[in-house]
Amino acid sequence: MTNFFEEAKSLFAYTQTLRRNFHMHPELGFKEIRTGGIVAKELETLGIEVTKGVGKTGVVGLLEGGKSGPTLLLRFDMDALPILEDTGAEYASQNPGTMHACGHDGHTAIGLTVAKILNAHKSKLAGTIKFCFQPSEEGNNGEEIGGAEMMMKDGVLENPKVDMTLSLHLWNEKPLGWVHVAKGPIMAGAEEFKVKIIGKGGHGAIPEAAVDPIVCAAQIVSAAQTIVSRNISPTETAVVSFTVINGGTAFNVIPQEVTMEGTIRTFEPQVRERVVGRFEELIKGVASAMGCQAEVNVKRLTPALINANEVTAKVQETTRRVLPQAVHDNMPYLTMGAEDMAFMQEKVDGCYFFVGSNNAEKHLDYGHHHPKFDFDEQALINGAALMSAAVMDILK
C-alpha cells in the first residue's frame, strides 16, 4: 500500500518553495494572474490538461485515471487579502498592503503537490480528477459574485460532470497535528446587511423639533441582540453583528439619516429564515415606533458549508490510517466563519476538512487575517498526504 505521508514528506522542499513564492507575491481576488500562471505551468509540466480563465482568473486541470469512474473535484483557493504584513519573515510579502493572511498560499502549494503525487499514480485511479484552483474566496472583490460562483457560472461542475468534491483549509486556531473531518454543518452561512434609518434633521439644542435617527439606531442595535437570545433556541446557533455605523457631520446637528452594516451567521436553513425574518421585522418596528423610516437590505453571501455523510465517512477512515498520531476531531459546527465552497457543496456531495497549522513555540499562532499570520509549514505535509490518500481511497 502506498505511504502517502512519506510521499508528501519527500516533496516537502517542492511544496515549501511554492508556498513561499506565492507568499512573497500575493494577489487579491480576481487578480491572481501570476499565481494562476505558475499553477497552469506546473500542471502542464505534469502533462495534465489545463483550462485557464475559468471564473476570470481560475485554473482547472483535468487528470484522467487508468480506469473509468466518477469525477472528483479538488478545490484550492489562491487569493490573498488587503493587509499590510507584519511577520518579519524572510519570505514576507513584496507587495505592500497585500498579504497571504489566511493560508491560501499553502492551499495552492498543497494542490500542486497533490497533483504531482496523484499524477504518478494515475493508472490506479478509477475516475477523473478535476483540480480546481479558485480565485477570490475572500469576498467578491468588486464583482457581483465570488470565485466559487464565478467558476460554477463558467461550468466548472460540468464537462465532465462533477460527482463529488474535496477541499481543505489550514487552520491556525488549532495546533499542528490536529485534524478536523466532520459530517454535517461545518461553517456558517453568511448574510451581509445594510440598514438606513431616516429621521428628521435639526439642531442638537432643539431635539423636540427633530426625529433623531441616532437614538433610533442605538435602540435597534440593542433590540437586535434579543433575536439570538430570545427568538433562537439555546441549542441552535446564530450571530447578529453590527459592524459599521455612520451618521452625523457636526456636534450640534441631529442628522437626517444613519446607515448601519453588519453580518448574520447561521448554520441551519430554518434558523436562517427565522433570524432574517425577525431582523427585518424588528428594525422596521423599532423605527416606526420612534417616528423614523427604515430601509433594510439583507444579501446572502454564502450558504452554510455542509459535509455529505458518505464521502466524509470515507475521508475519516483515510485520516485515521494516514495520520494515526493526529488529534482527530469529528464534531460539527466548527466555526461561524463562512466559505464560498458551500455553493459547490450545495450542488454536489463533498467533504471540507481542516488541518491544524499553528505552533506556539515558534510564535506561529496568530489568527487568520492577522498582520502577523503565519503557520508551521509541516502542516503542508499533512494536508498534501491526506488529500492525496483520500482521493485514492475514493477513486479505487
Q: Which of 77, 105, 137, 374 is catalytic?
A: 137
In the block, residue with C-alpha cell 490538461: 49
86 is catalytic: no
Coil, strand or helix: which one is 17?
helix
In the 3-class helix/strand/coil scheme, how is 254-300 assigned residue by residue? ECCEEEEEEEEEECCHHHHHHHHHHHHHHHHHHHHHCCCEEEEEEEE
Long-range CB contacts (within 8 A, 24+) of 210-214: 210/254, 211/290, 211/291, 211/292, 212/254, 213/247, 213/255, 213/256, 213/257, 213/258, 213/292, 214/247, 214/248, 214/254, 214/255, 214/258
Q: Which of 79, 105, 191, 339 is catalytic?
A: 79
DSSP 76-120: EE---BS-------TT--SSTT-B--SSHHHHHHHHHHHHHHHHH
Residues pairing with 178 in the sheet:
327
End-to-end CA distance of the chain: 12
207 DSSP assignment = G
208 is catalytic: no
Distance between CA 302 and CA 338 in Å, rounded? 7
What residues are labeled active site? 79, 137
